[in-house]
Amino acid sequence: MRSVAIIGIGQTIINEQWGRSLRQIAAEATLAALKDAGCESADGLFVGNMMSGTVNNQNNLGPLVADWAGLKGTGAVKVEAACASGAAAFRSGLIAVASGDLESALVVGVEKMTDMTSHDVTAALATASDADYEVDMGVSFVGLNALIMRRYMHEYGWKHADFAPFTINAHANALHNPFARLNHKITLEDFEKAVMIASPINLLDASPIGDGAAAIYIVPAESVHAKTRILVTGSSSATDTIAIHDRPDALFLTAAYKSAQEAYQQAGVGPNDIDLFELHDAFTIMSSLSLEACGFCERGQGPRLGLDGEIVPTGRVPIATRGGLKARGHPVGATGIYQLVEVVQQLRGDAGDTQVPGACIGMAQNIGGSGATIITHILKRE
């Protein structure tokens, strides 16, 4: 397969965009990526989205977005893997370009999910879980994560406040990201007194939903003659059981381990080589589990990285450098593309006040369901 380079990125602000339609948001990000790439069209379009059929009464996003973004006629599909839809769409586009099937591809992640009641959004998010054996039993998506977090705290002896650094770091970084949904600082006291959602997960353990879109333009690396290039050096997808009760060990993200290991192998690197890691911090517990499964610390020691100050942009394992899901926001099907866009910003040296010094290799990991679908990408500047 050919090596693939990212030559364009685009994103919209994440918030409640009641005055704009799904296609408008998607097109804004798509056109921004086209402009950034200096191109006017693409050979193929891949749309990452989770819940447009339910929330927006709209499937068939391929032609919808292609048409609205001026790419009429282009082969276009939607790829869905719950909250990992963005990375799944990117991986589809990547393989199409790497294979020689396409000479260029646009990948856009989009979600417009604030047009309905929070009760309905909670139901829509629960479709990432096992409808028959989890959701029908009455557990919500946050409830599932709460069960995992409670068990994790019991098993490894952490208290709730030990997870605060994940949130504090995310909010501190989002302050410098003009596209982020939340832009206020969080203190340890704020974290501890936030309203409870599903014990032990409170409001500041959880990421906010939102409307937003992000897009990436990719081409064969051989066609890029710039002095520096951003290459995709690792890409891997793995799955686990969709229901958590079917896993022998609910505190280890097997699919994260598998996909990270494969991506490391492809890229010829290991955790120590990763300059920043945009992980899937939908809940603080997920940050811990991702860091552990990807080899950044021992099992059960994720919170230690935060407490030791290693996750900030100047630390050993910078995460959520542009705010992460927690503060940049989590428009579910778009999140995987936001993560990759942010890694590109870091590798280009365009991350401003939250720039990771000398960032050369970045990783992004997108999770669908409570660890059911996990997709890892590694990007490198050379």
Q: Rounded to an integer, what distance in angstroms lies between the CA atom of residue 347 and that of residue 203?
A: 32
How many residues bind a copy of itself (CB under 8 A)? The answer is 67
Kindly state the smallest distance separating residue 243's Cβ from a copy of itself, in Å: 8
**If DSSP codes are grouped into helix, strand and coil, which group holds residue 367?**
strand
Kindly state the smallest distance separating residue 87's Cβ from a copy of itself, in Å: 10
Which DSSP string corresponds to 231-269? EEEEEEEEE--SSGGGSS-TTS-HHHHHHHHHHHHHHT-
Q: Rounded to an integer, what distance in angstroms lies between the CA atom of residue 77 and that of residue 163?
A: 39
| Interface pick for a copy of itself out of 120, 131, 189, 350 (rule CB under 8 A) | 131
| Interface pick for a copy of itself out of 8, 10, 63, 329 (rule CB under 8 A) | 63
Cβ-based nearer residue to a copy of itself, 126 or 378: 126
Kindly state the smallest distance separating residue 239's Cβ from a copy of itself, in Å: 4
Cα–Cα–Cα angle for 114, 120, 123, nearest 5°? 120
154 an active-site residue? no
CA dist 139 → 84, 144, 261 (Å)? 21, 7, 32
- With binding defined as CB under 8 A, does residue 54 bind a copy of itself? yes
Binding mask 223-262 for a copy of itself (x = CB under 8 A): -------------xxxxxxx---x-------xx--xx---
Length of the chain, please?
382
Burial class of residue 357 (count of CB atoms within 10 Å of its CB; 0-12, 13-18, 19+):
exposed
| Interface pick for a copy of itself out of 25, 27, 88, 363 (rule CB under 8 A) | 88
Kindly state the smallest distance separating residue 94's Cβ from a copy of itself, in Å: 9
Cβ-based nearer residue to a copy of itself, 104 or 173: 104
| Interface pick for a copy of itself out of 13, 95, 224, 307 (rule CB under 8 A) | 95
Cβ-based nearer residue to a copy of itself, 79 or 344: 79
- Candidate segments 28-36, 130-138, 189-197, 273-281, binder of a copy of itself by CB under 8 A: 130-138
| Interface pick for a copy of itself out of 25, 27, 32, 96 (rule CB under 8 A) | 96
H helix or E strand, kind and range, residue 52? helix 52-55
Instruction: Provide the CB-side half-sphere exposure for 112 (13 A, CA).
Output: 20
Q: Rounded to an integer, what distance in angstroms lies between the CA atom of residue 332 and that of residue 373?
A: 13
Angular region, 325: left φ>0, alpha ψ -120 to 50, beta rest: alpha
Query: Which residue in 51, 92, 126 sits closest to 375, CA to CA?
Result: 92
Cβ-based nearer residue to a copy of itself, 66 or 351: 66
- Candidate segments 109-117, 127-135, 273-281, 299-307, binder of a copy of itself by CB under 8 A: 127-135
- With binding defined as CB under 8 A, does residue 145 bind a copy of itself? no
Cβ-based nearer residue to a copy of itself, 236 or 288: 236
Residue 311 is encoded by which pair of tokens?
Answer: 């996750």
Q: Rounded to an integer, what distance in angstroms lies between the CA atom of residue 293 and that of residue 290?
A: 5
- With binding defined as CB under 8 A, does residue 77 bind a copy of itself? yes
| Interface pick for a copy of itself out of 19, 40, 57, 118 (rule CB under 8 A) | 57
160 an active-site residue? no
Could you give the strand order of the β-sheet that contains 373-381, starting from the edge strand earlier in sequence?
44-48, 105-111, 212-220, 4-11, 230-239, 373-381, 361-368, 276-278
| Interface pick for a copy of itself out of 26, 29, 33, 61 (rule CB under 8 A) | 61
- Candidate segments 31-39, 60-68, 282-290, 309-317, binder of a copy of itself by CB under 8 A: 60-68
> Rule CB under 8 A: which of 16-45 touch a copy of itself?
21, 23, 44
Query: Which residue in 293, 305, 291, 303 sits closest to 252, CA to CA?
Result: 293
Of 83, 171, 294, 377, catalytic: 83
Contacts of residue 357, Cβ cutoff 8 Å, sequence gap at least 6: 313, 314
Interface positions with a copy of itself (CB under 8 A): 1, 21, 23, 44, 50-54, 56-64, 66-67, 72-82, 88, 91-92, 95-96, 98-101, 123-124, 126-132, 135, 236-242, 246, 254-255, 258-259, 368-369, 372-373, 375
